[in-house]
Structures are given as C-alpha cells and as structure tokens.
Amino acid sequence: MNHLKFINQAHDMALKNLGKTFPNPTVGCIVCKNNKIISKAVTSSTGRPHAEEIALKKAGKKANKATMYVTLEPCFHSSRNGSCTDQILRSGIKEIFISCVDQDPRTKNKSINKLKRNKIKVITGIKKDQTLNINKFFFRSIKKKKPFTKVKMAISNDEKIAWGNYKSKWISNSKSRQHAHNLRNLSQAILTTSKTIIKDNPRFTVRKKNKILKNLNVIVVDKDLKIPLNSRILNNIHDKRVIIFTSMNNSKSLKLKQLGCEIIKMKIKNNEINLNKVFSILYKLKISDLMVEAGGIFFANLIKKKLVDEIHLYKAPIIIGEKGIPLIKGNQLNNIKKKLLEKNEFNDNLYLRYETR
C-alpha cells in the first residue's frame, strides 16, 4: 500500500473546502482496499457531516476490512448517526492512518484509544504538520479560546495606511487586491471599527470581476453606535452575520437589531471596550477565524493586548508622508516581535506575511 500517496490525497481533499467549514476544521478522508480508492470525502461546507461519515456512506459494505486515511482524529462526540469513531467501528475498517490528534477536548486521543481498544490498527503522525498548517485557525483558536486573527493592511513605503485627510484612494495594486480578496474568502469574518466604516464605507464582500462570491460576516467595534444605517456592510444582511459591540442601548441599537444585526452591549472603561472580552465572546459565538480590516489605532490596541496571530502587508512603492495615517498608532512594525513566513512580489507591490511571537 502506498500510504504516503493516500495521506497526501486526503490532504488534497481537505484543501478543497478550506475556508468553508467554520468553525469546524476541514478534513479529508480516503477509504482504500487492495491499493485502490473505494471512496473519498471532505468535511461538508457547513462543517457537518464530517468527511469520515460521508466516505463511509459512499463505501457502504466495501469498507469492511478496508484501510482509512484521515487528516484529523475522527470525532468522539455524538452526531446524528453516532460519532465518526463509532461509525468506523461499525463499518469493519481494519486499519486507520490519522495524520494529527484532534485538540478538541471532546475528542483529544479518546477516539484513537477507543479504536485501538477495539483492535483496529492505528498509525498516527504522517504529514501532521500539513494538517496543522491547513487548519491553523482551528488549532490556535481552540488553544487560546479566542479567534485566530490576521491583520491585513495595504501600506506605503513609509508605513502609512491612508492620507492625512482620509482621502479615499487605493494604495496597493490590483494584483495585491485580488490576493487580499482570496484571503478574505478563506476567512470566517471581518473585524473592523466604526471609523473605518464611516471613512471608507466598505462592502466586505468577496468579489471577482465585481461579482459578489461571498458575503462575509462582519464584526464592528462601535462604542457610540456611529455607523450610518445605510452603511454598505448592512446590505445582504440575511446572507451573513453582522455583530456589533457597543455601549449603547437606544433606538438605533433597536433599529439595527430589527435589520438583523446582533448587538452586544459592553461596558466602557477608560473610554474603551475590553477587546480581550470581545474576542472571548466571539469564540463562544463560534467565530474562530478573523481578518482585521481597520486602521492603525485599532491595530495598535490589538497588538497591546497580544490578540494578533498574523500580519499580512501589501507594500506599495509610494510615499504618503508625515501627515499620513500610521500603520500602528504610536508604534512601528520594527518594534513588533514577529517571524517572516512569506515574501512575494505582486508586480511593484511587496507582500509580506508575518507570524507574531
């Protein structure tokens, strides 16, 4: 049996639904017998059913005495048809290759132990790093009990994100913007501020050639509930979640609720909402992956609270000058502890992806 080949194919399956299975990880599963694939599946777009359940259903009786390759430990907790582990035991699978142990405490090592107790041969760890990488948001968020958070910024050569008069103008080129759209497409929600909404009135959709491919969930920190009721983020509200963190409880909050927004009332201390609390609440609301699209004041606050996991920068060869809006208010990129993960050129723009330390 060519185990590596099949485990690689299971990862290729997992990649197909990257960015679609939130808050669940995307998992690939292959069932084989006599070196031939009987069935293959990926976690469905809504996160359920799981890949193993779909693959076993497709394989039917042929799963008896077959080998399963799966990128993540099968679940131990019950679903409508019993846990994936129980379904594997019922199917007659004799051997299972699992790339990575699930860190969800409901499953962690419990399934592996149960399969072993039931005399199934279990082999773990092949291509574990690939599973960890594909589902980075899942492993990080489960550990922190907060969403995995990426900050995306288009910057000038002198690290400014906008002109001093807030004149609306693109900084990055079209290739960078398309890349940023792909990043959005792989994210569960956008986190922003009322100020960025008021200044830019963004749509926060995923678009290709101006066609909307996805209406992303939008989360707004809006202490005084200043966002206009005709903001573009409120378009197509029934195709997404709009969650607003505010200190206000008034007729405007009621109106926004009626429109379909989720309004979360927060206390104010030192004129600020506690962002740590915002992140913990989001995790409980099953938001595990965030892309921040806001300005340098908000970025600085996130950095102070150690809430940033990755920074994605698109650097254009222009100078905005001293009056421009800084990337990180009161701070500089140089002072942030980080590791470069990726560097790329998009025509005249430089793309830099960092992991914060």
Ligand X SMILES: NC(=O)c1ccc[n+]([C@@H]2O[C@H](COP(=O)([O-])OP(=O)(O)OC[C@H]3O[C@@H](n4cnc5c(N)ncnc54)[C@H](OP(=O)(O)O)[C@@H]3O)[C@@H](O)[C@H]2O)c1
Residues 29-68 that bind ligand X (CB under 6 A): none
**Runs of H (alpha helix) within 49-168:** 51-59, 84-91, 110-117, 128-134, 136-144
Q: Which helix (H) or strand (E) holds 281?
A: helix 275-284
CB of 72 to ligand X, least distance (A): 34
Residue 52 is among the residues annotated as catalytic for this protein: yes
Contact 338, 356 (CB under 8 A): yes
Q: Residue 268 is encoded by which pair of tokens? A: 């104010």
In three-state secondary structure terms, 208 is strand
- Of the residues 52, 53, 159, 293, only one is catalytic, namely 52
Contact 310, 298 (CB under 8 A): no
Q: With binding defined as CB under 6 A, does residue 272 bind ligand X?
A: yes
Q: Which helix (H) or strand (E) holds 37?
A: strand 36-42
Residues 156-195 that bind ligand X (CB under 6 A): 161-162, 166, 171, 193-195
Q: With binding defined as CB under 6 A, does residue 199 bind ligand X?
A: yes
Nearer to ligand X, 59 or 227 (CB): 227
Nearer to ligand X, 7 or 171 (CB): 171
Q: With binding defined as CB under 6 A, does residue 221 bind ligand X?
A: yes
Distances (CA, A) of 297 to 42, 101, 195, 223: 40, 39, 10, 14
CB of 71 to ligand X, least distance (A): 33
Type of residue found at 295:
G
Contact 324, 160 (CB under 8 A): yes
CB of 352 to ligand X, least distance (A): 13
Nearer to ligand X, 264 or 325 (CB): 325
Q: With binding defined as CB under 6 A, does residue 325 bind ligand X?
A: yes
Nearer to ligand X, 110 or 353 (CB): 353
Q: In what order do the strands lie in the sheet with 95-100?
A: 36-42, 28-33, 67-72, 95-100, 121-124
In the numeric block, the tokens 């509200």 are attached to 237
Nearer to ligand X, 114 or 184 (CB): 184
CA dihedral 96, 98, 101, 102 (to 10 degrees): -90
Nearer to ligand X, 56 or 261 (CB): 261
Contact 304, 275 (CB under 8 A): no
What is the contact mask toward ligand X in residues 285 to 324, using x (rule: CB under 6 A)?
--------xxxxxx--x-----------------------
Listed ranges 68-76, 86-94, 102-110, 221-229: which one lies at the site for ligand X (CB under 6 A): 221-229
Measured between alpha carbons, how far is 266 from 224 in angstroms, rounded to an integer?
11
Contact 198, 162 (CB under 8 A): no
CB of 280 to ligand X, least distance (A): 14
CB of 186 to ligand X, least distance (A): 17
Q: With binding defined as CB under 6 A, does residue 198 bind ligand X?
A: no
Question: For ligand X, how many residues bind (rule: CB under 6 A)?
Answer: 27
CB of 253 to ligand X, least distance (A): 14
Listed ranges 16-24, 79-87, 131-139, 220-228: which one lies at the site for ligand X (CB under 6 A): 220-228
The closest of 205, 203, 231, 70 to 135, measured between CA atoms, is 70
Q: Would you please indicate which residues are annotated as catalytic (active-site) residues?
A: 52
List residues binding ligand X (CB under 6 A).
153-154, 161-162, 166, 171, 193-196, 199-200, 221, 223-224, 272-273, 275, 293-298, 301, 325, 329
